[in-house]
């Protein structure tokens, strides 16, 4: 990939920051430095205005009323399904199930696809670096069915040991579930390679795309996976939104997870027939305004120069890691060759929560804790880490300010 001129990359964040109003606020009297986008991304004005406009101009329920407001709400809501299909390069809009986020999407696959097909002696394969949302649903399904959970290992650099993953794809494995990007380490997993291995063995592959979709283009057909889940609030959209992409033939074979209005074809006391996918899986009134906002977020992302954004984020990652390596007593967790700008670390003698609290008083927002990844913390032998997670709206100047603040709080804890 050819490098863009330095001034072009610097201009990316400067120009785009103006679209994110919250980045202009102060915290504890200091300008906010927001390094917690892996937790939730900030929202551009376009998204905020889209949600406001929905409630002010055409608030109504979807797929129920024939009046003008209902038609406008339904059009905007279903329009986001079309945008999501385009965003992941789905084969059709019918392959997109709108969910509250990745957690609901994975649970849907666990209960409607995995559980009906599992029996005692079967296995589900995950990796050591998974988020709890890609562990616990499979544990619940295994407990109900008598199946077991298998775990593919990683190395100290935070990279999946691919050959060990492939070796674990034995005939008892009925589904594999892998994160595209680790929320703790920033590691980008080689999904296309893993998908070739699972497809060769007839094993469906689910990919948790929560941390990948905000950083680079996702093409589910090129990846070759069978399920792909993503979360709207990490994608610069509203909370309570997300999607599951799945191959059409898999969705058609899956029973609904929830029952209620609008996921049915006909209801009789003698029995109910269900709507075709994806609406079969969308019972109840959804987060309509949220999905209107997510549609605006996808429009916003579609307007960006993705090549320049990617290069800018990679430059931020290189700067951040280089600066942190120079801090005495600091340990970085996960230094994979292919990463997004997510860096977890600890400083010898300082608790992650204490560091995070003191950095907050310097106006810097980072996450401390186990990051919903207890098994990964156990692998590294620590209870918690600090995590700096950046997005395209961050700058090199913020990294310098962060490192200076880190030196200050280290002195306070000495």
Give this prediction's pTM. Answer: 0.96
Is pLDDT of 7 > 70?
no
Output the pLDDT for position 2.
43
Is pLDDT of 224 > 90?
yes
CB 248 within 8 A of CB 240: no
Is pLDDT of 3 > 50?
no
Phi-psi region at 29: left, alpha or beta (left = phi > 0; alpha = psi -120 to 50):
left
Q: What's the chain's average pLDDT? A: 95
Output the pLDDT for position 9.
64
Q: How far apart are CA 247 and CA 245, in angstroms?
A: 7
Assess whether 372 carries a catalytic annotation: yes
Is pLDDT of 8 > 80?
no
Stretch 154-174: mean pLDDT, rounded?
98
pLDDT digits (tens, 9 = 90+) for 105-160: 999 999 999 999 999 999 999 999 999 999 999 999 999 999 999 999 999 999 99
- 149, 372, 382, 384: the active-site residue: 372
């Amino acid at each position: 990939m050819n490098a863009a001129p330095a001034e072009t990359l610097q201009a990316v964040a400067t120009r785009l920051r103006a679209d994110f109003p919250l980045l202009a606020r102060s915290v504890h009297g200091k300008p906010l430095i927001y390094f917690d986008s892996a937790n939730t991304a900030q929202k551009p004005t376009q998204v905020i205005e889209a949600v406001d406009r929905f409630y002010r101009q055409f608030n109504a329920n979807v797929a129920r009323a024939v009046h003008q407001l209902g038609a406008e709400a339904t059009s905007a809501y279903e329009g986001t399904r079309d945008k999501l299909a385009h965003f992941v390069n789905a084969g059709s809009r019918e392959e997109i199930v709108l969910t509250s986020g990745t957690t609901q999407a994975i649970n849907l696959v666990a209960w409607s696809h995995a559980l009906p097909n599992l029996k005692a002696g079967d296995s589900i394969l995950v990796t050591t670096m998974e988020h709890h949302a890609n562990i616990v649903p499979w544990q619940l399904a295994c407990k109900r069915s008598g199946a077991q959970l298998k775990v593919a290992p990683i190395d100290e650099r935070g990279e999946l040991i691919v050959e060990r993953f492939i070796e674990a794809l034995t005939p008892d494995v009925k589904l594999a579930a892998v994160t595209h990007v680790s929320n703790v380490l920033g590691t980008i997993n080689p999904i296309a390679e893993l998908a070739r291995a699972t497809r060769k063995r007839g094993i469906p592959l689910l990919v948790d795309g929560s941390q990948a979709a905000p950083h680079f283009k996702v093409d589910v057909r090129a990846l070759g996976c069978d399920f792909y889940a993503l979360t709207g609030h990490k994608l610069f959209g509203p909370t309570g939104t997300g999607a599951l992409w799945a191959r059409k033939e898999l969705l058609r074979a899956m029973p609904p997870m929830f029952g209620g209005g609008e996921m049915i074809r006909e209801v009789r006391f003698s029995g109910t027939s269900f709507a075709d996918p994806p609406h079969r899986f969308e019972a109840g009134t959804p987060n309509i305004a949220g999905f209107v906002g997510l549609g605006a977020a996808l429009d916003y992302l579609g307007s960006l120069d993705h090549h320049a954004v990617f290069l800018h984020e990679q430059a931020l990652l290189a700067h951040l890691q280089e600066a942190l390596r120079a801090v005495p007593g600091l340990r970085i967790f996960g230094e994979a060759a292919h990463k997004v700008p997510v860096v977890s670390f600890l400083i010898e003698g300082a608790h992650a929560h204490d560091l995070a609290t003191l950095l907050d008083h310097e106006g810097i927002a980072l996450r401390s804790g186990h990051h919903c990844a207890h098994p990964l913390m156990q692998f590294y032998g620590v209870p918690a880490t600090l995590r700096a997670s950046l997005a395209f709206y961050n700058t090199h100047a913020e990294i310098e300010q962060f490192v200076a603040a880190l030196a200050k709080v280290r002195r306070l804890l000495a």
